[in-house]
Amino acid sequence: MKIKSSLFLLVWTCLTLQAQQKKQISPDLIGIFFEDINYAADGGLYAELIQNRSFEYNPAERKGWNSFTAWEYITEGYGYGNISVETSSPVHPNNPHYVVINVEEPGLNGIGLKNQGFDGIPVKAGEKYQFSIFLKQLEGSSIPINVKIIGKKGTVLGEISFDSDSKEWKKYQSEITISETQDSANILVLAKGKGKIAIDNASLFPQNTFKNRPNGLRADLAQTIADLKPKFMRFPGGCLVHGDGLGNLYRWKNTIGPVEQRIEQRNIWGYHQTVGLGYFEYFQFCEDMGAKPLPVVPAGVSCQNSGGTWRIGGTGQKGISQAQMPDYVQEVLDLIEWANGPITSTWGAKRAEAGHTTSFNLEYIGIGNEDKITPEFKERFKMIYDVVRVKYPHIKVIGTVGPAPNGSDFEQGWKFANQENVPMVDEHYYMKPTWFIANQKRYDTYDRTKSKVYLGEYASEGNTLFNAIAEAAYMTSLERNGDVVQLASYAPLLAKAGHTQWNPDMIYFNNTSIYKTTNYYTQQLFSVNQGDTYFQNVISPAGKVDSTLAYSCVKDSKSGDVILKLVNCGKTAKKFKINLSQFRDLGSKAVVSVLSGAAEAKNSFENPTNITPVVSGFKAEKNFSYDVQPISLTVIRVKGKK
Ligand code: AHR
């Protein structure tokens, strides 16, 4: 009897200990943050090849810019006439500027406009491109129009011709097939008959966009992002969201519907946003990648930091007037209805009209972006939040706690979030790699009963392997604290070479090439190896424990796989001991991925694969020790028997 009860006690104690040493963690932990910064959207992910397609660039966006920026007036073969920018009778009042070409004498080849694209127009032999344009015949009869893609030496790489035939605005579209690959072509739109014609919204898209979506995304860049297998995508910013002054807030309704009817605007990062990549396209991209959408709306206040080097203007934080706040709150509610509502609802019907009858399954919404925690902010945040949580109790609202890991906005933001029971708050920090190594215990002591954390922006100020490994060490602590840290995303995601306002970034690109930084590989290794349960007692360093060594063990219940992450930020090889004996449904077959090299090593356009993960097979015993190289991240994925 005595033996039986002590055996029971022993089993019970073992089970309790084991239960204490594992915990459920967020299944959505690793995602991405897309902001239109560094030409990430226009000239970047958004596949439009014509720059300033609707003649809406203006000097308030950048000194010297105007409706003709990126365009050139062309007279070919002794033709003459003139051109002007007009606004009296546009395609749509939201898109007021258009160009009128007055052809007095067409000469041999006509007169018109040449567009240089975004650093040139890259085209590929044999591929088809979708050209479209709005035209309106103002004087004269039908005018023959010739559209040519021309290479560096003036070679015609592809062309189409058609006749204008409408005295009202009419959209013309046609495919152009390219005969020769060129990195930096131009496009010419020529009027070849006497008369006056108005033109607007000239557009050229590769037919091969990501998932072949119309008005779609650059396929190679979108695929590089999709390969991260993010669990969520936050968009469209960043500072872009709360903008430079109240007139520059990112208003989601301005970004949906036919592109020629969207309201374009200045980008706080010193350029122009066509919003051709708008809310529908963001949600569609999320769905195409299998990522949950996480839109961020302004909290009714503008960016307190506007006015810095890149942020032309600079009104600082301003609040939407109390009189206008009810409409603004409704705008946020409408977004949720647009994303999730039935097609019988007002906004659900608009989503369906755009081609998506089913819900986008919106679960998360961010309100505010690292706003200064002022009375104006708090009042407006609360007005929005109080209504959203009542009308949509299942939507997880994410609040904001400033731009730094500590300090006044951080403290005030947290205090406010806890007071208002905001489900989650968005922390941001850009710090040195040594900070990330030294602060791995940050979340160990966070109060589990308070708001959860979305680490919405973080990076270790560099693209060397040491940066990536320091971030990996920190990410093991995010997994360990995956019960309180629910979501995390590195920032910024994209940067176009020669057009960056922020460095470092995760993915660099130009018109034809892309390179993935070492930081990309860290993100990818964590993202494709996420789990939903964290285990405390599986890994231990074999020698002296110090902060240069980090590790985590998670299990993915869908596959049954157990995933070990071992990080060494130090300069010498180290050993870990691994004990898998508690996992009954585990085989010994494992895949090992190792990211390692010299601390200062980087990838670049010249050497894009200098540092990439090396993958190999491995037999994982129930107990084994594993040597990790200096400056390395090792991921061991042991296959479940499922
Ligand atoms: O990620 C770049 C910028 O950093 C974001 O726009 C802003 O939220 C933060 O200051």
Strand partners of residue 638: 562, 590
Q: Given a cut of 80, is residue 545 above it in pLDDT?
A: yes
Count Cβ atoms below 10 Å from residue 481 Cβ, excluding itself.
26
* Beta carbons of 564 and 578 less than 8 angstroms apart: yes
Active-site choice (48, 61, 370, 457): 370
pLDDT grade, residue 641 (50/70/90)? confident
506 lines ligand 1 (CB under 6 A): no
Cα angle 129, 134, 137 (rounded to 5 degrees) comes to 135
239 lines ligand 1 (CB under 6 A): yes
Looking from the CA of residue 456, the nearest atom of ligand 1 is 8
Looking from the CA of residue 403, the nearest atom of ligand 1 is 10
pLDDT at position 5, please?
60
Q: Given a cut of 70, is residue 310 above it in pLDDT?
A: no
Spatial distance between the Cα atoms of 229 and 523, rounded to a whole number of angstroms: 10
Q: Find the 239 Cα to ligand 1 centroid distance in Å.
A: 6
The model's pLDDT over 607-640, given as tens digits with 9 standing for 90+, comes to: 999 999 999 999 999 999 999 999 999 999 999 9
pLDDT at position 543, please?
87
Assess whether 370 carries a catalytic annotation. Answer: yes
Which SS3 state, helix, strand or coil, does residue 411 take?
A: helix
CA 142 to mean position of chain CA atoms: 44
Q: Of all protein residues, whose CA lies closest to atom 1 belonging to ligand 1?
A: 492
Count Cβ atoms below 10 Å from residue 179 Cβ, excluding itself.
15
Q: Given a cut of 80, is residue 290 above it in pLDDT?
A: yes
35 lines ligand 1 (CB under 6 A): yes
The Cα-based distances of 548 to 420, 486, 543, 571 in angstroms read 38, 24, 12, 9
The model's pLDDT over 1-40, given as tens digits with 9 standing for 90+, comes to: 455 565 555 545 544 555 558 999 999 999 999 999 999 9
The model's pLDDT over 55-84, given as tens digits with 9 standing for 90+, comes to: 999 999 999 999 999 999 999 889 999 999
pLDDT at position 141, please?
86
Spatial distance between the Cα atoms of 183 and 120, rounded to a whole number of angstroms: 7
Q: Which of 248, 350, 242, 355 is nearest to 305 (CA)?
A: 242
Looking from the CA of residue 430, the nearest atom of ligand 1 is 4
Q: Of all protein residues, whose CA lies closest to atom 8 belonging to ligand 1?
A: 238
403 lines ligand 1 (CB under 6 A): yes
Looking from the CA of residue 239, the nearest atom of ligand 1 is 6
Lowest mean pLDDT among 519-523, 544-548, 553-557: 544-548
Most informative mutation of 34, 36, 38, 239 for ligand 1 (most atoms within 8 A of CB): 239
When the pLDDT of each residue in the chain is averaged and rounded to a whole number, the result is 95
Helix residue spans in 231-341 (DSSP H): 239-242, 279-289, 325-340
Q: Which of 479, 411, 485, 480 is nearest to 447 (CA)?
A: 485
pTM of the entire predicted model: 0.96
The model's pLDDT over 355-388, given as tens digits with 9 standing for 90+, comes to: 999 999 999 999 999 999 999 999 999 999 999 9
Q: Given a cut of 90, is residue 486 above it in pLDDT?
A: yes
Spatial distance between the Cα atoms of 397 and 424, rounded to a whole number of angstroms: 7
Count Cβ atoms below 10 Å from residue 425 Cβ, excluding itself.
26
The model's pLDDT over 205-221, given as tens digits with 9 standing for 90+, comes to: 999 999 999 999 999 99
Q: Given a cut of 50, is residue 309 above it in pLDDT?
A: no
pLDDT grade, residue 529 (50/70/90)? very high
Most informative mutation of 369, 426, 493, 494 for ligand 1 (most atoms within 8 A of CB): 369
Cα angle 253, 258, 259 (rounded to 5 degrees) comes to 85
502 lines ligand 1 (CB under 6 A): yes
37 lines ligand 1 (CB under 6 A): yes
Looking from the CA of residue 240, the nearest atom of ligand 1 is 6
* Cα dihedral 321, 322, 326, 329 sign: positive
